[in-house]
Structure 1
Amino acid sequence: MDPIVSLQGRTIVVTGAGQGIGRGIAETAAALGANVVAVDLNGETLAATLEALPSGRAMGVQGSVADPAVADRAVADAVARFGAVHGLVNNAGIIRPAMIDKMTDMQWQEVIDVHLTGSFYWMRAAGRHMIERAKGGDTSGGAVVNISSDAGRKGSIGQINYAAAKAGLLGMTMTAAREWGRYNIRTNSICFGVVETPMTEVVRGEKFRDQMLAQIPLGRWSTPQEVVKSVVYLLSDGASYVTGQHLGVNGGFHISL
């Protein structure tokens, strides 16, 4: 019996792979047999991730995800080295918190550029390659996983920029699923709750801890190692009939029909 989740022989691009969830995704994908293209702005953390990956099946790309030229170059270089790109995980993210009336134009734009516009650039670059392969007769398709957030479904006080960007990712996911289904390219999003990463240090701190945990039926935070399993599932053939969906991996923090 074939394993339910395998990425053997596939090439997966992971943005924000230098730490936290992104690094966990890169390491797990490699453990499941994938070639990994790790992307990060920070050269030191990127180098640390690459050291943890099999050297013959890993490639690093340093640059901003909000630069379309970086996305185009990364996909082209990955194809040149590994032959194809089969999966993309839009994971890179930043936060610039402020209440609506105090948020600056720069705080708004920086978050939108990374989370929303940046994800579009990488979807476009990877999608063009996957569509070209499909038109050439390659039926292997591809998979895109956009890392969204419950903030995009519930809102988030002090983070209108982040919540708007993550809500926008849901629309991008559904649109790509409708446009690209005929090419066997699946596009899904994952909405994480509170994961133990540097980005969630404030909400996990003493001021908000009890209030936040009271809203999570499982009563605890998740670890990066725990949530990355859902990402590699959506990249794999285990999810071969799943597209256009928003998977909540949040301990019950957001529950809906």
Structure 2
Amino acid sequence: MCAGRVVIVTGAGRGLGRAHALAFAAEGARVVVNDLGVELDGAGVSAGPAQQVVDEIVARGGRAVAHGGDIATSEGAASLVATTVDAFGRLDTLVNNAGFLRDRMLVNLDEDDWDAVMRVHLKGHFLPLKYAAAHWRAEAGAGRKVPARVVNTSSGAGLLGSLGQGNYSAAKAGIVGLTLVAAAEMGRYGVQVNAIAPAARTRMTEQTFAEAMAAPGEGEFDAMAPENVSPLVVWLGSAASAGVTGRVFEAEGGRITVMEGWRPGPTADNGARWTPAEAGETAAKLLARAEPAQPVYGVRGVGRG
């Protein structure tokens, strides 16, 4: 499906990113494996995880290179795109996946924990997207428009919220907004931009949800394996997904769901300014006709991704 395509995957040293990189390579793509090799909370740096994935791809007959730059900096994001073009002569697909957690209830959430999660998730999506878009705009201007693809990584926490994850939920919600804007702005260059909200067993989820995400018994389908998410990502990152842009998909186990976001529900127009009492009475009537809100993850046993 991806023969001849060149694909960047950020945060590809472990978990979902690793699964995506291997899946793209299996479909014929040349892959740039970006990873800082940090710990779960973002501390430390190691070139090992990215190089290990590159070695796996090469051992299976594929082509890949490692990139250890910090994609939440302009220098690192620009270097990522430059490394890709230098190594393989083109860029076709960007998968933004890098992230980590600093979970706290809001009253205990430090400013540093907020800033760090916003930086790696939201800024770490924006900057690679910015430099990839500039590359594709230049290519289109030179008459070399390609069926370029971007797959961003949101979360159920970004769609519904998640207890103890105010920073992560806000960042992942921001990624959805960024996806919609990028899809609208970049279509003129031949670029499609979509997002996934995956649920899988990774370093970011296994400690919090060890029981729910435990590995299955022998011969059973492992519904929480990160490899289950990658086929959808590969399709979205390929030319086969032509015409699909500005969409968000949930992916978990063998289930794929097209998410339908904010859209107008019941409405009333007074034709003039409401009084507070009128506004309240009207809002109550509208709420009675509206679909009930989905519960925030972590409330009444609701899971999260």
Question: Which residue of the other structure, out of 207, 228, 238, is the alignment partner of 1:202?
Answer: 207
Corresponding residue of 2:283? none
Corresponding residue of 2:250? 248
Amino acid aligned to 2:35: D
How far apart are residue 79 of structure 1 and its match? Answer: 0.8
Listed as ranges, the gaps of 5+ residues in structure 1 are: 1-5, 211-218
Corresponding residue of 1:118? 124
Deviation per CA, 1:8-54, whole angstroms, max 9, x where unpaired? 11110100010111011111111111110110002111121111012
How far apart are residue 77 of structure 1 and its match? Answer: 1.9
Deviation per CA, 1:195-246, whole angstroms, max 9, x where unpaired? 011110133224xx39xxxxxxxx9842111111110010112211100000
User: Is 1:91 equivalent to 2:97 in the alignment?
Assistant: yes
Amino acid aligned to 2:2: L
Contact 2:249 2:256 in 1 (8 A): no
Amino acid aligned to 2:206: E
Change (3 A) 1:128 1:197: same
Contact 2:71 2:80 in 1 (8 A): no
Question: Which residue of the other structure, out of 53, 70, 79, is the alignment partner of 2:57?
Answer: 53
Corresponding residue of 1:144? 150
Contact 2:154 2:198 in 1 (8 A): yes
Corresponding residue of 1:3? none
Deviation per CA, 1:49-106, whole angstroms, max 9, x where unpaired? 1110127721111122212201101211211221111110000010000000100011
Percentage of pairs with the same residue? 38
Rounded Cα–Cα distance in structure 1 between residues aligned with 2:188 and 2:204:
37
Rounded Cα–Cα distance in structure 1 between residues aligned with 2:65 and 2:11:
14
Rounded Cα–Cα distance in structure 2 between residues aligned with 1:14 and 1:158:
28
Corresponding residue of 1:38? 33
Change (3 A) 1:28 1:56: closer
Rounded Cα–Cα distance in structure 2 between residues aligned with 1:47 and 1:241:
34
Matched ranges for 1:101-116 at <5 A:
101-116=107-122
Amino acid aligned to 2:251: V
Rounded Cα–Cα distance in structure 1 between residues aligned with 2:139 and 2:148:
10
Corresponding residue of 2:236? 234
Between Structure 1 and Structure 2, how many residues are aligned?
241
Contact 1:134 1:141 in 2 (8 A): no
Rounded Cα–Cα distance in structure 2 between residues aligned with 1:40 and 1:248:
24
Change (3 A) 1:255 1:79: closer
Question: Which residue of the other structure, out of 19, 42, 50, is the alignment partner of 1:24?
Answer: 19
User: Is 1:165 equivalent to 2:175 in the alignment?
Assistant: no
Aligned with 1:79: secondary structure? helix
Amino acid aligned to 1:21: L
Corresponding residue of 1:11? 6
Change (3 A) 1:104 1:178: same
Q: Give the greater-gyration-radius structure (CA).
A: 2
Higher RCO (CA 8 Å, separation ≥ 6 residues)? 1
Change (3 A) 1:242 1:131: same
How far apart are residue 255 of structure 1 and its match? Answer: 8.1
Question: Which residue of the other structure, out of 64, 67, 78, is the alignment partner of 1:72?
Answer: 78
Change (3 A) 1:73 1:127: same
Aligned with 2:145: secondary structure? coil
Contact 1:152 1:163 in 2 (8 A): yes
- RMSD after superposition: 2.0
Rounded Cα–Cα distance in structure 1 between residues aligned with 2:136 and 2:258:
34
Aligned with 1:52: secondary structure? helix
Rounded Cα–Cα distance in structure 2 between residues aligned with 1:159 and 1:63:
26
* Runs of 4+ residues deviating >4 angstroms: 251-257
